[in-house]
Amino acid sequence: MKEPGKTLIHGWGRFPRAGARMSEPADVDGLRALLKDESPGACIARGSGLSYGDSALAGSVISSLGLRHVCELDSADGVLRCSAGLNLREILREVVPEGWILPVLPGTALVSIGGAIAADIHGKNHHRHGSFCEHVRELSLMLADGEVVHCGPERNPELFQATCGGMGLTGIILEAELKLAPITSSKMAGRSLPAANLAECFELLEAHEQAHYSVAWLDCLMRGPHMGRGIIYLAEHEIEGELRYRGRRALGVPFATPGMLLNRRSLSMFNSTYYRWQNFRAGRNRLDLDAYFFPLDRIRNWNRLYGAAGFLQYQFVLPLDAAREGIASVLRKVSDAGKGSFLSVLKKMGPANGNLLSFPTGGYTLALDFRREASLFPMLEQLDAVVLDHGGRIYLAKDARMSETVFKAGYPDWERFLAIKQRVDPNMRFRSAQSDRIGLTGRGA
């Protein structure tokens, strides 16, 4: 129900939704005035709103998209200083023609720099190049009292480790200095390899772990000997070619479609056709940056395809030694429950960094999308048990329903995080629906 003065907002999964008082300061002074004024009370920063669940939801929400004035590239060294409200597409337009690229790219170019740091996002190259914040040299942060502090791996490192992956709970990120990666072409040399089952997917990802980028799409509806069949996508930057990036325009889904369009039957048909088609055209191909990194950005608002009830993405990571067994067990449970995931993506991850709430850890991560329906939640609780039994954790940027117990078991550094938060934000000014639910700022804190 919408309250007066509040706007109904949600994350990418369109669940949950909540009324929020929204403000969008136009600059750092405006932001300070807003925080000093106390009127937003408890609040949380929001970038592009592309986290799936409730991490950017609160009674008062401060959009950082107005913070977009700084974008300075040192094109000799590939060091970029930029405002937190700029998105990755805007950055790529500036840096690619100069022969540089953001070293970590997620599945959409519309993520803001603030959101990328707050979730310490990972890409298809985590096994080689780590997560986004491993390329952040320094950032500036506005604390709850309006003070601006700087932190980085060497300066104020504890605050840096709490802010990178800290889901906006230490303060509002204003600017960041990033080390970019050099490229000599904006074309990608891609390669796709079919895998007949889950074991083959793992084998191919291991065999190609030197690939710059790798990811597997799984057909999660297959059972028995074909369970986990999929396509492995590998890619390298081409050496020769032009340096160009425009950022593709997208077609839109104008309204939420009836969610039943994406049912087990239609998914099964889609998966079989897709697998056969990809199998048929398996081999080498040449792609531009958008086609390889952001294929989903071609359809604006594709989240509406799941219907008015929205959807949830369940992304977890398991350590290397437990991943094969744990992921097989998750796929069996999903199949036994008769649920289908439209997108099922498996990636290898490199080692964890020291950030206190960052998601990545050495092993494998699987992401599954499910239409929201009442029967989904008991199944997800079963999956939580498998993830914890295998020593894993669930990604906060995708989460909309994890319990406090599951969070605290998966993120053993939560107490160290809380100690730092209490130092910089003693009145718990920055809190989200998610942080309350998982006991960082709510009951259990």
Please give the residues from 329 up to 358 whose contact with ligand FAD meets the rule CB under 6 A: none
Q: What's the CA gap between 289 and 292, in Å, rounded?
A: 5
* Shortest Å, Cβ 245 to ligand FAD: 18
Examine residue 80 and tell whether it contacts ligand FAD (CB under 6 A): no
* Distances 230 to 195, 226, 329, 341, 346 between C-alpha atoms, Å: 5, 9, 17, 13, 9
Q: Burial of 138 by CB count in 10 Å (0-12 exposed, 13-18 middle, 19+ buried)?
A: middle
One DSSP character per residue, 239-301 reads SSS---------EE--SPPPGGGS-HHHHHHHHHHHHHHHHHT-EEEEEEHHHHH-GGGGEET
Examine residue 304 and tell whether it contacts ligand FAD (CB under 6 A): no
Examine residue 48 and tell whether it contacts ligand FAD (CB under 6 A): yes
Examine residue 165 and tell whether it contacts ligand FAD (CB under 6 A): no
- Chosen residue from 47, 228, 247, 340 binding ligand FAD by CB under 6 A: 47
- SS3 of 179, please? strand
- Chosen residue from 80, 92, 96, 119 binding ligand FAD by CB under 6 A: 119
Q: What's the CA gap between 157 and 160, in Å, rounded?
A: 5
- Chosen residue from 59, 114, 259, 350 binding ligand FAD by CB under 6 A: 114
Examine residue 152 and tell whether it contacts ligand FAD (CB under 6 A): no
**Which of 46, 135 has the CB closer to ligand FAD?**
46
**Which of 271, 358 has the CB closer to ligand FAD?**
358
**Which of 369, 384 has the CB closer to ligand FAD?**
369
Examine residue 201 and tell whether it contacts ligand FAD (CB under 6 A): no
* Shortest Å, Cβ 131 to ligand FAD: 7
**Which of 78, 123 has the CB closer to ligand FAD?**
123
Q: Answer for the pair 358, 120: CB distance below 8 angstroms, yes or no.
A: yes
* Shortest Å, Cβ 114 to ligand FAD: 2
Q: How do beta strands 363-371 and 148-151 pair?
A: unpaired
Examine residue 438 and tell whether it contacts ligand FAD (CB under 6 A): no
Rg (alpha carbons) of the chain, rounded to whole number: 21
**Closest-CA residue to 257 (of 312, 310, 313):** 310
Q: Which amino acid is at 63?
A: S
Task: Name residue, tokens 């690939």.
Answer: 211
Angle at 410 between CA 408 and CA 412, to 5 degrees: 65
Dihedral through CA 142, CA 148, CA 153, CA 156, nearest 10?
-110
Task: Report the residue number whose CB is nearest to ligand FAD.
Answer: 115
The site that binds ligand FAD (CB under 6 A) totals a number of residues, namely 33
- Chosen residue from 31, 43, 55, 78 binding ligand FAD by CB under 6 A: 55
* Shortest Å, Cβ 280 to ligand FAD: 26
Examine residue 173 and tell whether it contacts ligand FAD (CB under 6 A): yes
Q: Answer for the pair 318, 327: CB distance below 8 angstroms, yes or no.
A: yes
- SS3 of 444, please? coil
Examine residue 13 and tell whether it contacts ligand FAD (CB under 6 A): no
User: What strand order describes the sheet that includes 7-10?
Assistant: 7-10, 17-23, 60-63, 43-46
Examine residue 161 and tell whether it contacts ligand FAD (CB under 6 A): no
Examine residue 64 and tell whether it contacts ligand FAD (CB under 6 A): yes
Q: What's the CA gap between 272 and 278, in Å, rounded?
A: 10
Binding range to ligand FAD, per CB under 6 A, among 95-103, 110-118, 248-256, 304-312 = 110-118
Examine residue 49 and tell whether it contacts ligand FAD (CB under 6 A): yes
- Chosen residue from 9, 34, 43, 44 binding ligand FAD by CB under 6 A: 44
**Closest-CA residue to 165 (of 133, 193, 136):** 133
**Which of 58, 387 has the CB closer to ligand FAD?**
58
Q: Answer for the pair 182, 78: CB distance below 8 angstroms, yes or no.
A: yes
Binding range to ligand FAD, per CB under 6 A, among 72-80, 107-115, 263-271, 279-287 = 107-115
Examine residue 121 and tell whether it contacts ligand FAD (CB under 6 A): yes
Examine residue 176 and tell whether it contacts ligand FAD (CB under 6 A): no
Positions touching ligand FAD (CB under 6 A) are 11-12, 44-51, 55-56, 64, 84, 106-108, 111-112, 114-115, 118-119, 121-123, 167-168, 172-173, 296, 397, 432
